């Protein structure tokens, strides 16, 4: 294995796995597999990139560090020459959150400084300019992410945000340096390392900027960022003759389908509204879930009764609705109850013969795939930017799409079901 990735959630893991498998146009990517948690056995020797999906974004920071260091050890044991710590392109993390502690712990374990920290993903509208994170034309804290139910982002200055989480100071490489080329970037990172900066925010506003950053870190043991940071990494291994550029395989499974949406992001809410115009949908009564009046059987019965019609169940709500429910029952209790509901529903659906499953929301996806215990997932074609087809093996193969809340076009759900079937 050449490249190892530690991702802090399951949708982010499939996002960066997709980026690595695609590689650069005309060059191809690496043969990539996504692991749901830290594998118990060694990797297949044919795998060139392994992405370990953890559910560590919103847990206690010390626990996230322990899990990430365990993942690092497994990846190093597989022979990885470079490690990527992947977090969300909207930098989902509270001031007491996990991005800084995990990144610093990995840097210390590998004995490196001057490590890139770049959440930019221009294809999804995430850019970094003068150390500030933008979502399209809005600062992060004015983009709707300030209303995130678990990790509200109230400051777009990610140097300042990250500094609250770290021991050492945080460096910055500005866009002028980035657009001067990979040699200039490499020199700037070296200087920050000499100044004892473990982490360095690097500006990026285009894919070309990310490719330049990728070339600059060709010999770096550790890189951190959103999935966009991996755009140029596959090319480094191909250029050195270590990989052939075969990338993703074409996969698809046709069969019964279901859609589960637990994200409350604006994009997912719009996708739900578009989908419900022509397909059966069921809104989950969250208060009913908390009061024991809504059970897993209610969801599975609805989904199984509407096979062939792309049925959807969702808990998505507006920021005001989410705040009201959290105030009434408690944020953690609501999150735990919904994760359990979606996990149990997915398990029953697969047991009942569902073979195409679309899941919206990082936390929801983590709960679902953990419950299904699918093992390694092959990476297939891209559905929308950042969201590939995933295929499990075994006696009951399942085709999956795990969508981060803010990703995907308005018609994503129907498009995803078609791609999962190989169409």
Note the pLDDT of residue 89.
79
**Contact call for residues 380 and 249 (beta carbons, < 8 A):** yes
Burial class (CB in 10 A: 0-12, 13-18, 19+), 179: middle
Contact 228, 210 (CB under 8 A): yes
Q: How far is CA 414 from CA 151, 267, 277, 278, 288, in A?
A: 29, 15, 12, 10, 28
CATH superfamily of 3-239: Putative sugar-binding, N-terminal domain (3.40.50.10840)
The pLDDT, as a whole number, for residue 146 is 65
Instruction: Give residue 29's pLDDT.
Output: 94
Q: Residue 150: its pLDDT value, please?
A: 61
Sign of CA pseudo-dihedral 217, 220, 226, 232? positive
Q: Please give the model's pTM, rounded to 2 decimal places.
A: 0.82
Task: List beta partners, residue 388.
Answer: 382
Predicted pLDDT at 316: 84
**Residues 97 and 9 sit within 8 Å (Cβ to Cβ):** no
Look at the chain and count its residues: 423
Which structure tokens are listed for 297? 């059987």
Q: List the chain domain ranges.
A: 3-239, 257-420
Tell me which fold the domain 257-420 belongs to: Molybdenum Cofactor Biosythetic Enzyme; Chain A (3.40.980)
- pLDDT at residue 381, rounded to an integer: 86
Output the pLDDT for position 180: 98
pLDDT of residue 250: 60
Residue 312 pLDDT: 97
Per-10-residue mean pLDDT for the chain, 423 residues long? 95 91 91 92 94 90 96 98 92 79 97 97 92 89 65 81 91 98 98 96 97 98 96 96 79 91 89 96 94 95 97 90 89 91 96 96 87 87 88 86 87 96 91
């Amino acid at each position: 294995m050449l490249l190892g990735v530690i991702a802090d959630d399951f949708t982010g893991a499939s996002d960066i796995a997709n980026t690595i498998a695609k590689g650069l146009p005309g060059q191809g990517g690496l043969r990539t597999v996504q692991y749901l948690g830290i594998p118990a056995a060694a990797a297949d020797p044919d795998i060139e990139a392994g992405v370990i999906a953890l559910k560590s974004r919103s847990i206690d920071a010390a626990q996230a560090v322990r899990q990430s260091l365990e993942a690092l050890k497994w990846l190093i044991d597989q022979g990885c020459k470079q490690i990527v710590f992947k977090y969300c392109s909207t930098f989902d993390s509270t001031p007491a959150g996990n991005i800084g502690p995990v990144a610093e712990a990995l840097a210390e374990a590998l004995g490196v400084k001057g490590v890139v920290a770049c959440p930019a993903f221009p294809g999804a509208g995430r850019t970094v300019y003068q150390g500030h994170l933008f979502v399209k034309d809005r600062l992060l804290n004015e983009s709707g992410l300030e209303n995130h139910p678990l990790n509200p982002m109230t400051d777009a200055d990610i140097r300042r945000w990250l500094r609250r989480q770290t021991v050492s100071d945080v460096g910055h490489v500005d866009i002028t340096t980035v657009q001067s080329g990979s040699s200039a970037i490499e020199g700037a990172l070296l200087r920050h390392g000499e100044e004892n900066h473990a982490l360095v925010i690097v500006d990026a506003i285009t894919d070309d900027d990310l490719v330049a950053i990728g070339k600059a870190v060709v010999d770096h043991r550790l890189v951190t960022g959103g999935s966009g940071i991996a755009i140029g990494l596959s090319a480094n291994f191909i250029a050195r003759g270590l990989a052939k550029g075969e990338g993703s395989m074409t996969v698809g499974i046709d069969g019964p389908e279901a859609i589960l949406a637990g994200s409350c992001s604006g994009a997912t809410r719009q996708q739900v509204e578009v989908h419900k115009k022509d397909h059966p949908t069921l809104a989950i009564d969250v208060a009913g879930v908390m009061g024991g009046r809504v059970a897993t059987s209610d969801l599975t019965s609805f989904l199984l009764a509407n096979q062939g019609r792309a049925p959807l169940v969702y808990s998505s709500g507006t920021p005001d609705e989410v705040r009201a429910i959290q105030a009434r029952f408690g944020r953690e209790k609501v999150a735990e109850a919904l994760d359990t509901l979606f996990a149990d529903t997915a398990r029953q659906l697969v047991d009942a013969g569902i073979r195409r499953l679309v899941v919206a929301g990082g936390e929801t996806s983590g709960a679902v795939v953990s419950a299904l215990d699918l093992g390694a997932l092959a990476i297939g074609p891209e559905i929308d930017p950042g969201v590939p087809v995933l295929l499990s093996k075994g006696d009951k193969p399942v085709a999956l799409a795990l969508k981060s809340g803010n990703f995907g076009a308005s018609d994503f759900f129907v498009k995803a079901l078609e791609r999962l079937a190989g169409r």
